[in-house]
Chains A and B, each alone.
Chain A
Amino acid sequence: MVATSRTTVSTRLPKMSIVVRNRGRIVAGILAVWLLLWLVLRGTHTLALGGAQLTTVHHWFNDLNDAIGAGRDSNPLFLYFFDYIRVGIDEFVVFVQSIIAQPSFDRPVPLIGWFGVVALVGFVSWAVANVRVALLATAGFFFLGLQGLWRESMDTLALTLAAVIISLLVGIPLGIWAGMSDRFNRLVTPVLDFMQIMPSFVYLAPLTLFFLIGPASATIATLIYAAPPVIRLTAHGIRSAPHDTVEASESLGSTRTQTLTKVLLPAAKRTIVLGVNQTIMAALAMVTIAALIDAPGLGKTVVKALQTLDVGTAFNAGLAIVVMAIVLDRVTTAAADRGRRNRPYRIVLWLAALPTAFAVWLSYTYVWAAEFDSSLDIGSRIAVWAGDATTWVQSNLAPVTNGVKDVFTLVLIDPLQSVLADSPWWLVAAAVVAISLVVGSVRAAIVSAVCLALIVLSGLWSDSMTTLASTIVATVFTMIIAVLAGVWMGRSRRADRVIRPVLDAGQTMPVFVYLVPFLALFAASRFTAIAAAVVYAVPVATKIIADGVRGVSGTTVEASVASGSSTWQTITKVQLPMSARAVALATNQGLIYVLCMVVVGGLVGAGALGYDVVAGFSQGQLYGKGLAAGIAIVLLGVMLDRLTQAAANRTHRGG
Chain B
Amino acid sequence: MHGTQVHDTQRPVISVRNLWKVFGPKAARVPGSAELGALSRRELLDRTGCTAAVRDIDFDVAPGEVFVVMGLSGSGKSTLVRCLTRLVEPTAGEVVFEGEDILRADPKRLRDLRRNKFSMVFQHFGLLPHRTVVDNVSYGLEIRGVSKAERVKRAKEVIELVGLDGYEGSYPDQLSGGMQQRVGLARALAGDPDVLLFDEPFSALDPLIRRDMQSEVIRLHHEVGKTMVFITHDLSEALKLGDRILIMRDGALVQIGTGDELVAAPADDYVRDFVRDVPRSHVLTLKWIMRPKRDDDPLDGPELGPDVVVREATRSVLAAEKPVKVVKDGELLGIVGDEEILSVIAGGSDS
Number of A-B contacts (CB under 8 A): 73
Chain A residues, CB < 8 A from B113: 253
B112 interface residue (CB < 8 Å to A): yes
Nearest-CB residue, chain B, relative to A255: B111
A244 interfacial by beta-carbon distance below 8 Å: yes
Q: Is B140 touching A253 in the complex (CB atoms < 8 A)?
A: yes
- Which of A260-268, A451-459, A530-538 forms part of the interface with chain B? A260-268
Which residues of B are found within 8 Å of A248, using beta-carbon distances?
Answer: 120, 122, 125-127, 184, 187
Contact in complex: A269, B130 (CB < 8 Å): yes
> Are B122 and A249 in contact (CB-based, < 8 A)?
no
Interface size on A, residues (CB 8 A): 20
With an 8 A cutoff between CB atoms, is A242 at the interface? Answer: yes
B114 in contact with A253 (CB, 8 Å): yes
Interface residues in B175-196 by Cβ distance below 8 A to A read 184, 187, 191
Q: Judge whether A91 is part of the interface by a CB distance below 8 angstroms.
A: no
- Return the contact of A245 from the options B112, B119, B128 (Cβ within 8 A): B128
Asked if A253 and B139 make an inter-chain contact with CB atoms under 8 angstroms apart, the answer reads no
Q: Which residue of A lies closest to B121 (CB)?
A: A248
Given contacts A252-B140, A258-B143, contact A245 B126 (CB under 8 A): yes
Q: Are B124 and A242 in contact (CB under 8 A)?
A: yes
**Chain B interface helix/strand/loop/mixed:** mixed
Evaluate contact between A266 and B130: CB separation under 8 angstroms: yes
**How far is it, in angstroms, between the C-alpha of A197 and the C-alpha of B197 when the chains are bound?**
50
Contact check, A262 vs B128: say whether CB atoms are below 8 A apart.
Answer: yes
Report if A254 contacts B (CB, 8 A).
yes
- For residue A337, which residues in chain B have a CB less than 8 angstroms away from its CB? none
Complex Cα distance, B184 from A621, in Å, reads 71
Would you call B129 an interface residue if the criterion is a C-beta within 8 Å of the partner chain's C-beta atoms?
Answer: yes
Q: Verify A253–B127 contact, CB threshold 8 A.
A: no
Nearest CB of A to B192, in Å: 13
Instruction: Say yes or no for B272: interface residue by CB 8 A criterion.
Output: no
CB distance from A610 to the nearest CB of B (A): 48
Shortest Cβ distance from B226 into chain A, in angstroms?
Answer: 15
- Are A244 and B126 in contact (CB-based, < 8 A)? yes
C-alpha spacing A176/B22, complex, angstroms: 30
Report yes or no: A251 in contact with B128, Cβ–Cβ below 8 A. Answer: no
Check if A252 sits within 8 Å of B115, measured CB to CB.
yes
Complex interface bits, A124-146 against B, C-beta within 8 A gives 1, otherwise 0? 00000000000000000000000
Q: Which residues on the B side are within 8 Å of A254 (C-beta)?
A: 111, 143
CB distance from A80 to the nearest CB of B (A): 40
Tell whether A340 is near chain B: CB-to-CB under 8 Å: yes
Partner of B125, one of A244, A262, A267, A340: A244
Complex formed: what's the CA distance from A340 to B169 in Å?
Answer: 12
Q: Does B122 contact A247, Cβ atoms closer than 8 Å?
A: yes
Task: Name the A residues within 8 Å of B142 (CB-CB).
Answer: 262
Beta-carbon contact of B119 and A252 below 8 Å: yes
Cβ contacts B75-112/A at 8 Å (1 or 0 each): 00000001001010000000000000000000000111
**Quick one: which of A205-258 are within 8 Å of B by CB?**
242, 244-255, 258
A76 and B160 alpha carbons, distance in the complex (Å): 69
Kindly report which residue of chain B lies nearest to residue A257, judged by CB atoms. Answer: B143
Q: When the two chains form their complex, are residues A251 and B139 in contact, meaning their CB atoms are under 8 A apart?
A: no
Decide: A267 near B112, CB < 8 A? Known: A242-B124, A251-B87: no
Are A267 and B126 in touch, CB under 8 angstroms?
no
For A244, what are the chain B residues with a Cβ–Cβ distance below 8 Å? 122-126
CB distance from A411 to the nearest CB of B (A): 59
Q: Is the CB of A245 within 8 A of B111?
A: no
Residues 116-164 (chain B) with a chain A CB within 8 angstroms: 116, 118-120, 122-131, 139-140, 142-144
Q: How many angstroms between the C-alpha atoms of A253 and B187 in the bound complex?
A: 13
13 further A-B pairs in the complex, CB-CB below 8 A; given A247-B82, A247-B87: A244-B123, A245-B126, A245-B127, A247-B126, A248-B122, A248-B125, A249-B126, A252-B140, A252-B143, A254-B143, A258-B143, A262-B128, A266-B130
**Can you offer 20 A-B residue contacts whose CB atoms are under 8 A?**
A244-B122, A244-B123, A248-B125, A248-B126, A248-B127, A248-B184, A250-B87, A251-B114, A252-B115, A252-B187, A253-B111, A253-B112, A253-B113, A253-B115, A254-B111, A255-B111, A255-B143, A262-B128, A266-B128, A340-B171
Name B's A-contacting residues (CB within 8 A). Answer: 82, 85, 87, 110-116, 118-120, 122-131, 139-140, 142-144, 171, 184, 187, 191, 197
Chain A residues at the B interface, C-beta cutoff of 8 Å: 242, 244-255, 258, 262-263, 266-267, 269, 340
